[in-house]
Amino acid sequence: MVRIALVTGGMGGLGEAVCVKLAALGYKVATTHSPGNTTADEWLTKMHHLGYAFKGYKCDVTDFDSAKSCVEQVTAELGHVDVLVNNAGITRDKTFKKMSKDDWDAVIHTNLDSVFNMTKQVMDGMVERRWGRVINVASVNGQKGAFGQTNYSAAKAGMHGFTKALALEVAKHGVTINTISPGYIGTKMVTAIPQEILESKILPQIPMSRLGKPEEIAGLVAYLASDEAAFLTGANISINGGQHMY
């Protein structure tokens, strides 16, 4: 039986590694790209040349109707979604004093509302089939807070509140839902930080003295998606090189 995985933001740094890992394990993989992404076809072609037959779907995860039509298309073309990875996210860092309502809304809509919008489309089917996995990609900064990230820390902490509550509701139906909270991973979200800040401020916080690798996150997602992880639900798994032990 081939399982279908849908990864939001699969064309980004972490998402790509997750798509590749799940495909290597035999899943059929669908990914979303935002409506403003002008390089989605290029990415799909690049991945096809590397041997990955990913399907890409335009989806604004902040918009309920867009999420609905995306999941309907995936279901019609590939089959029902067995594994949903809520990975799409953005930052708009500013101190609270400077943070605008738009900065707040954009981050809450993209990181948190998206989890409702996407999960709502797949949950009834997972419960009916008595098997499903939802994996929410949060952040260490949702666990411990971060300077300049009231919006992002709130959204990521909110993802885990959602996870725990929904895990209770669906546990007896064979559906698990978990949060993972990565620390600093070497994707463009982090490598965009000036090198001197990385070296002087960020690496010293990480006992392993390095950034995480997207593949390390993908390995954890793959485990949570597997049958072996059937007894693991409502957890928030830290994966951060020892930066924050929770």
Residues serving a catalytic function are 152
Q: In what order do the strands lie in the sheet with 55-58?
A: 55-58, 28-33, 4-7, 83-86, 132-137, 175-182, 236-239
Query: Least distance in Å: CB of 199 to ligand NDP?
Result: 16
* Angle, helix 13-24 to helix 214-225, in steps of 10 degrees: 50
Return the SS3 of 31: strand
Query: Least distance in Å: CB of 31 to ligand NDP?
Result: 8
Of 55-63, 73-81, 116-124, 168-176, the window that binds ligand NDP (rule: CB under 6 A) is 55-63
Closest CA to 186 of 22, 18, 13, 19: 13
190 near ligand NDP, judged by CB under 6 A:
yes
Of 22-30, 88-96, 143-151, 163-171, the window that binds ligand NDP (rule: CB under 6 A) is 88-96
| 55-58 and 28-33 beta bridge pairing | parallel
Binding ligand NDP (rule: CB under 6 A), the pick from 3, 21, 28, 33 is: 33
Binding ligand NDP (rule: CB under 6 A), the pick from 59, 166, 170, 224 is: 59
Binding ligand NDP (rule: CB under 6 A), the pick from 117, 119, 121, 139 is: 139
Pick 32 or 119: Cβ nearer ligand NDP: 32
Query: Least distance in Å: CB of 64 to ligand NDP?
Result: 12
In whole angstroms, what is the distance from residue 224 CA to residue 200 CA? 34
Report yes or no: 96 and 150 within 8 Å, Cβ to Cβ. Answer: yes
**Pair of tokens at residue 107:** 């981050």
Query: Least distance in Å: CB of 129 to ligand NDP?
Result: 26
